[in-house]
Structure 1
Amino acid sequence: MSASSSIPASASLPLAVLRLGRDYRVSFLSQAQAEVFGYRAVDLLGKRLSDVVGQEAFEHMRPSLDAAFDGHAAQRQIVLRDHASRERHIQFTLLPDGEEDHDGALVAVIADVTSLMPAPRVDSEFRTLVENSPDIVSRLDRAMRHVYVNAATEQLAGIRAEEWIGKTKAELGLPEVTVRAWDQAIQAAFDTGEVQHFEFELPASAATRYFSGRAIPERGPDGQIGSVIGLAYDVTERTRIQKENDDLLGRERAARIQAETAARARDEFLSVVSHELRAPLNGIQSWAHVLENYIKDITGVPLAQRALQGIKTGVSQQVRLIEDLLDVTRMMSGRLRLVMQPHALLPLLESAVDSVRDLAAAKKVSLHCDYRVTTEQINGDSDRVQQVIWNLLSNAIKFTQSAGNVWISAAQAEGMIAVSVRDDGIGISPDFLPHLFNRFSQEDTSSTRSQSGLGLGLYLVRHLSELHGGRVRVESEGEGRGTTFTVELPLLHRTDKYAAVNALENNVISNLALPSLSGLRILLVDDQAEARESLSILLTAAGANIHAASCGREVTDWLATLAPDAMPDVLICDIAMPEEDGYAVLRKLRHWSPDGQSRPLQRMPALALTAFAEREDRIRALTAGFQMHLTKPVAPEELIVVVNTMAPRNRIPAG
C-alpha cells in the first residue's frame, strides 16, 4: 500500500501528516498539525515548509527531504518553539509518495517526541542555581507578562510565584516608578535585540531599596525574540556609600571654595597692606635723602648723621620684611614666578656679599670669601638666587656676636654647585633643627628675644632652592658652636656662551640640514646685552642680517632712518623688559608709520623669545599678536627653523 492511500483516514490520528510537493509547499496536512505547530491546518496550506519550521530548521532537513523526493525513506529530528516559546522536539519520518498524480511528492509523518527526551542535567542544575540565587530572575513575554519568576522575586515583593505568572508588574500593583523602569528596559530589549542595562528603586515601608538590572533578549531557532530574561541585584548598600561619597565630595568642594575665597581675600589684604606700608616708607626714605644731601646745617652733626643712618636702615629692613611676606604668600598660592636663564654664579655671589658688607661692618663682623668657581653657570632666576644667598648671609651676621666671623664658599660637587655660609655665632639647639625651615619659625619667641624678624627668611631659602632644582641643609654642633648652611644648585654644563654658535658653525649641532636665513632682515629686541650679542652671532652665522636693540625707543629711532624697502622681515622680542615689555613693543611696531598713513610693519611676523615658560604665558603672547612663542634657553637649531618658517615667502635670498 502506498503512503498516500492512508492519508485521508489519518486526519483523526494523534500524529500529524503532511504532503510536500517538489517546491516544498504544503499540499495536505492533518488537523493534528495544530497540536504540533500551534496553527490551524487551513492556515498552513500552500506555505513553504521553511515558513512553517523556520529557515534554519528547513536547511537542516533539506538533505533528507531531497532524499525522499528521490525515492528514499528518511528520518530527521529538529527543535522548534511553539506559540508559548517552549522548546519542542519534533521528529519527521519522510516517505516518497507513490501516487502517479502527485508528481514526485513526499509524505511526512510528524511526531512530537518532547516527552520522550531526557531532561538535560545542565537545565536541572541551572534551575537549581536560579531558584537559589539572591538576585531577581524572571522571564517576560512581549505583553510584559511574567512567564517565570524565581524564589528571590517572590520573597522580595511578598507575592507568591503562581500569582506572578501571566500578569504584568502593573497588574500586580508594584510601584509606578518600578514598573516604568522595567517596562522601558524590556520593551527596548524586544525592539533592539540588545541587552539593556537599567536601574530602578523599590519603595517600601521600611526603606527604599535600589537595584541594578539587565534585560536580555531570548531568540528562538527562527532568530525571532520570543521572550526577555530580566535580571536584577540589590545595590542599596553601594548606592548608600556612593551617596555618602557624593555628600563628602560636595562638602570638600564647598570647603575648598571657602578656602580659596579666604586665600584670595588674604592675598588681596596683603597686597593692600603692602601698598599702604610702602607709601609712607617711600616718603620717609625720600625725606631722609633730602636731609642727608641738601640740608647743610646737619651734615657735620654726628648725631644727626647717626639718626639718618638709623632711618635708612629701618626703612630697608621694613621693605625686606614686606617683600619676604609677599614672597611667602606667592609661594603658598603657587603664584611665585621665576625667570629662569643661564647665569654665571660668581657675579651673583659677589653681588650678594657686597649687599651685606655695610651690615657686617656695622656689627664688626668679618666676611671671608673662598670661591672655587669662575665661569660655572646655573640655570636660574638671578634675583632669587641672590635672595637666597643674601638671606643666609644676613642671617649669619644677625646671629654672630660683634667681632665674629662669617665665611662664604662655593665649589663644584657631583654635578652641583655648593654654596656654604658658616658663622661662629650662637648656634642652634638640636631640638630646633627640624623646625628651622618652617614658616614663622623662630627658636626664641619670648618677649625678651634678642633678634627681630618674622621667621620667614629660611623658609624662603628652602623653597627657592627647591624651585631651582636644588636643596639646602644645615649643620650645628649646638648652642654657642656656630652654624653652617649649604645650598646646592644644579650645574649648567654648557658654560661657554658661544658654544651653540661654534657648534653651528662647525656643523655639529645635529645631522639635520638647517635652512639658510640668507637675506633675511631680523629685528632683535632684548634688554640684556649678553642675550643680544649671543643671538646676533648665532643668527648672523645662519645668514641673516641682524639689527639688535635694547628697548622700543631704540627701535623706533632706528626705523626712522630706514628706506621703505629696508624694513625688517621678522621680529624676535623678549617679553620682560624694564622700559616697555615685549607686548608694548609689538603694539608700537604694529602702529608705527613713517608717513602718518602707511603701516609697513602691521603684518610683520613676530616671535616671543622669553624666559616666561608657563602655558598661560604662551597663550598671552599669542593672544597679544605674536605668531610664535619660544622659551629661553632655546635650542639654536629650533630657533633657526622657526624663524625660517615665519619668514615671508617672497623674500629673495642673498646671492
Structure 2
Amino acid sequence: MTTPSTGTAGATPVPSGFAVSERTARLCAETALFMRDHVLSLVSHDLRGPLNAIHSWAYVLERKLDANDPNSQRAVTGIRNGVEQQVKLLETIVDATRAETKSLALAFAPFSLHPLLDETVDEVRSGLARTRGVEVTVESHLATEQLNGDRERLAAALWLMLAFAVEASTEGATVTLAARADATRWYATVTFNQDVAALNDPAAPHLLEAFARKQACEPREAKRIAWVFALCKRVAEAHGGNFEQSDAPESEAVTLALHVPLSATTAT
C-alpha cells in the first residue's frame, strides 16, 4: 500500500492532496491479507500434485531396482524422505499460516443495497479516482432491495473491484459500476478498459501492492482469478455467491462481476 511519504526509500510518490483515509488503509490491509492466504493456498495445492507423483514413482523405482544394491535403495529412500519433508513443510508452515483465516467470519444482517453502492463509490471517488483523474459512474437499477449478509465484507469486495479498475485506467478514462437485483440475487459488475502501463506506472499513486498489480497482468489458468481479487472471491463464496474476472486483450473492456443471493446464508 502506498501512503503519503517524505523521502522513504522505494516509496511511490504521492501527489499533493492525495490522502488515504483510515477506512481505505484498513481495506488495503485486508486486501493484502486475503491475497497472502490465496497465494499460500495455491502453493499448497500446486505443490502437492507433483510431490505425490514423485512419491509414487519412488515406490515404482524401488520395485524395479536391485534390492541388494545399497546405493540404489539409499537413493530411493532419499527421494521418499525428501518428498515427506516437503509435505511436512506445507502442513506446518503453509497450511498452519492459513489456519486462522481459512474460515471467514460473517455478521449476517439485512441491509439496503443502494446506500452501500453510494458509500463505496464515494470512498473510491473522493480518494484514488479523483487523484488519478478517473471518472467512476454508476448505472443502478436498484430501488429498495435488501440483502441479508455481511455489509462490511461485501462493501470491501466492491471497493476492491472499483479500486483496481481505477488503478488500471488511464487519466480521463471512465470506470462503470452496474448494479441490479432480480428476485433472488444481487449483481454488481465493474467495467473498464485495462491499461497495463497505467496499472504499473511508478509515478502514479497506488493503493494496491506493486507485485499484485504486476501479477494481475500475467496470463491466468482457466477459471483462476488474479491474486489481488482473493478477497472478492472469498467474500462472494462465503455468501453462497461467486466472483468472476473476464479476460480481455490490452485496452479492451474488462469486467469484474460479483453475484450474491439476496437471502445469503453462510457457505463457510
What TM-score does the superposition give when structure 2 sets the normalisation length?
A: 0.56
Aligned position for 2:153: 384
Q: Percent identity?
A: 22
Change (3 A) 1:329 1:364: closer
CA 1:361–1:433 in 2, change beyond 3 Å: closer, same or farther? Answer: farther
What CA distance in whole angstroms lies between the structure 1 residues aligned with 2:262 and 2:26? 32
Structure 1 or 2, whichever has the larger Rg, is: 1
Residue among 304, 317, 324 paired with 2:31: 324
CA separation of 1:373 and 1:314: change in aligned 2, threshold 3 A: closer
Task: Please give the per-residue CA displacement for 1:14-49, whole angstroms capped at 9, x wherever unaligned.
Answer: xxxxxxxxxxxxxxxxxxxxxxxxxxxxxxxxxxxx
Is the Cα–Cα contact under 8 Å of residues 424 and 482 in structure 1 kept in the other structure? yes
Q: Kindly report which structure 2 residues correspond to 1:336-347, keeping only aligned pairs within 5 A, or say none.
A: 336-347=104-115
Paired with 2:240 and 2:167, the residues of 1 have a C-alpha distance of 28
Alpha-carbon distance in 1 for matches of 2:124, 2:255: 18
Choose from 90, 102, 120 the match for 1:352.
120
The correspondence of residues 183-262 of structure 1 with structure 2, limited to 5 A, is none
Matched position secondary structure for 1:374: coil
Distance change (3 Å), C-alpha of 1:379 and 1:489: same
**What displacement does 1:342 show?**
1.0
In structure 1, the partner of 2:251 is 480
State the superposition RMSD in angstroms.
Answer: 3.7
Going from structure 1 to structure 2, the CA distance change for 1:403 and 1:329 (only over 3 Å counts) comes to closer
> Equivalents in 1 of 2:22, 2:142: separation in Å?
35
Q: Which has the higher helix share?
A: 2
- Among candidates 144, 164, 168, match of residue 375 of structure 1: 144
* Cα separation, 1, equivalents of 2:159 and 2:262: 20
Looking at both structures, which has the greater relative contact order when contacts are Cα pairs under 8 Å and sequence separation is at least 6? Answer: 2
Taking the aligned partners of 1:472 and 1:478, their CA distance within structure 2 comes to 20
Q: Deviations over 1:514-561 (max 9, x none)?
A: xxxxxxxxxxxxxxxxxxxxxxxxxxxxxxxxxxxxxxxxxxxxxxxx
Residues 1:400 and 2:169 aligned together: yes
Q: Does 1:313 align with 2:10?
A: no
Indicate the residue corresponding to 1:624 in structure 2.
none
- Aligned residue for 2:219? 431
Letter in 2 for 1:386: A
- CA distance in 1 between counterparts of 2:241 and 2:257 reads 11
Kindly provide the CA deviation profile for residues 266-318 of structure 1, in whole angstroms up to 9, marking residues without a partner as x.
xxxxxxxxxxxxxxx9xx99xxxxxxxxxxxxxxxxxxx965x35x3398766
Task: Specify the code of the residue in structure 2 equivalent to 1:489.
Answer: V
Match of 2:238 in 1: 467
- Post-superposition Cα deviations, 1:430-477, rounded to whole Å, max 9, x if no partner, equal 933647525xx3xxxxxxxxxxxxxx3x01101111001110112243
Q: Equivalent residue for 1:123?
A: none
Gaps of at least 5 residues in structure 1 are: 1-280, 286-304, 442-455, 494-610, 615-655
Give the Cα–Cα distance (whole angstroms) in 1 for the partners of residues 263 and 121 of structure 2.
22
Query: What is the CA–CA distance in structure 2 between the aligned matches of 1:420 and 1:490, rounded to whole Å?
Result: 15
Give the distance between the partners of 1:327 and 1:429, measured in 2 at CA: 19
2:188 maps to what in 1? 419
Residues of 2 paired with 1:322 and 1:370: CA distance? Answer: 29
The answer to whether the Cα contact below 8 Å between 2:135 and 2:175 also exists between their aligned partners in 1 is yes
The 1:403–1:463 alpha-carbon spacing in structure 2 relative to 1, beyond 3 Å, is same
Deviation at 1:479, TM superposition (A): 1.5
Q: Which amino acid aligns with 2:31?
A: D
TM-score by length of structure 1 reads 0.24
Structure 2 CA distance for partners of 1:318 and 1:410, relative to 1, 3 Å: closer
Matched residues in 2 for 1:490 and 1:484: separation?
20
Q: What does the per-residue CA deviation read over 1:121-164, in whole Å, with 9 as the maximum and x for residues that have no partner? A: xxxxxxxxxxxxxxxxxxxxxxxxxxxxxxxxxxxxxxxxxxxx
Give the whole-Å Cα distance in 2 for the aligned partners of 1:401 and 1:472: 25
Amino acid across the alignment from 1:370: E
Q: Tell me, what secondary structure is at the counterpart of 2:175?
A: strand
Aligned length: 177
Partner-residue secondary structure (3-state), 2:188: strand
Flag the 1:486–1:354 CA change in 2: closer, same or farther, 3 A. same
The within-5 A match list for 1:138-177 is: none
- Give ranges in structure 2 of 5+ residues lacking alignment: 6-13, 39-97, 197-215
In structure 1, how many angstroms separate the alpha carbons of the residues matched to 2:156 and 2:110? 17
- Return the alpha-carbon distance in structure 1 between the equivalents of residues 255 and 163 of structure 2: 13
Deviations 1:83-134 (A, max 9, x none): xxxxxxxxxxxxxxxxxxxxxxxxxxxxxxxxxxxxxxxxxxxxxxxxxxxx
Distance 1:323 1:373, change over 3 A: same
Deviations 1:168-197 (A, max 9, x none): xxxxxxxxxxxxxxxxxxxxxxxxxxxxxx
CA distance in 1, matches of 2:106, 2:164: 23
Q: Which residue identity lines up with residue 396 of structure 1 in the other structure?
A: A
In structure 2, the residue matched to 1:491 is: 262
Deviation at 1:319, TM superposition (A): 4.5
Q: CA deviation at 1:413?
A: 4.2
Structure 1 contact 340–379 (Cα < 8 Å) conserved? yes
CA 1:357–1:318 in structure 2 vs 1: closer, same or farther (change >3 Å)? Answer: closer
* Distance in 1 separating the partners of 2:147 and 2:234: 17
Higher normalized strand content (fraction of residues): 1
In the aligned structure 2, how far is the partner of 1:371 from the partner of 1:377? 14
Measured at CA, do residues 314 and 348 of structure 1 come closer, stay the same or move farther in structure 2, by a change above 3 Å? closer
The one-letter amino acid of 1:323's match is: E
Matches within 5 A, 1:65-144: none
